[in-house]
Amino acid sequence: MITARANNAVHRELEVERMIHFSDAVFAISIALLILEVRLPVFSQAFAAGTLWQVFLPFINELAAFTASFILIGVFWARHVKLCRYLQQYDDGIIASNLLFLFFIVTFPFATSAMASRANSSFLLPVYIYLGNITCCTAALYWLSYYMFRKKPGLTITGHVTDKEWLYQRSKYSFMVLSLTFLTIVFVYTYFPKNPVYQQFSYLVPLPLLIIARSRMKKFRRNQLRPVL
């Protein structure tokens, strides 16, 4: 009986590793697909010196979008690794939550391509798609951390209470900051399309939210490190 239970536990751990390796592969493929959208400009046989900027502008936009998305996917991968460090078992909910998160990782190349090649001041849908994709990744990661640490804590390894709570709180505040920022930008550009002051102000919304979130996280860390008398 003991041997059977031990074998079953080992089998479950191997299945968890398969899920994690699959996730790593999805991240790697998504990052690799990003570079496919970066293309050098096509030069004609002769062009005026004044048009050099116009020739390179699409390439610069694509390179900037690639760099931003590469960094973001890297951040999401690092946070996913830290979450899975505490996972020792799985259920259908974990699989579904993880696949939901990976779905929005896979859509990053599409959102990046739209942002780099089609976004302009008169057509903001690609911007909404890109920001919405980032927000959905954050929301899915928050749900995954909630499912692991709050809804089904028995699926994680025992102990490490402070570290688990830290990861959960960070995922929560990241989701709150990005979702409020995204909704604010969409609201301002929808209802004040000809007010550049409001539009520029909407991009400053993350600053106070980040300050508040950072303050709350520092307070949480201080409370956890405070000695019990």
CA gap 86, 155 in Å, rounded: 9
Is 45 a domain residue? Answer: no
Beta-bridge partner residues of 226 = none
Is 116 a domain residue? Answer: yes
Is 46 a domain residue? Answer: no
DSSP 111-175: HHHHHHHH-BTTB-HHHHHHHHHHHHHHHHHHHHHHIIIII-GGGBPS--HHHHHHHHHHHHHHH
Residue ranges making up the domain that contains 196: 2-39+51-225
Please check whether residue 113 is in contact with residue 129, taking contact to mean a CB–CB distance below 8 angstroms: no
Is 121 a domain residue? Answer: yes
pLDDT for res 30 = 95
What is the dihedral sign for C-alpha 159, 160, 162, 168? Answer: negative
CA gap 142, 156 in Å, rounded: 16
Is 35 a domain residue? Answer: yes
* Total domains in the fold of the chain: 1
Q: Read off the pTM.
A: 0.86
Is 44 a domain residue? Answer: no
Question: Which DSSP symbol is given to 85?
Answer: T
Is 156 a domain residue? Answer: yes
Q: Which residues contact 104 (CB under 8 A, 6 or more apart)?
A: 133, 136, 137, 140
Along the 229 residues of the chain, how does pLDDT read in single tens digits?
555 455 555 556 778 899 999 999 999 999 999 988 777 766 665 555 556 666 677 778 888 889 999 999 999 999 999 999 999 998 999 999 999 999 999 999 999 998 887 767 677 888 899 999 999 999 999 999 999 999 999 999 998 898 999 999 999 999 999 999 999 999 998 898 888 888 888 888 889 998 999 898 888 877 776 654 4
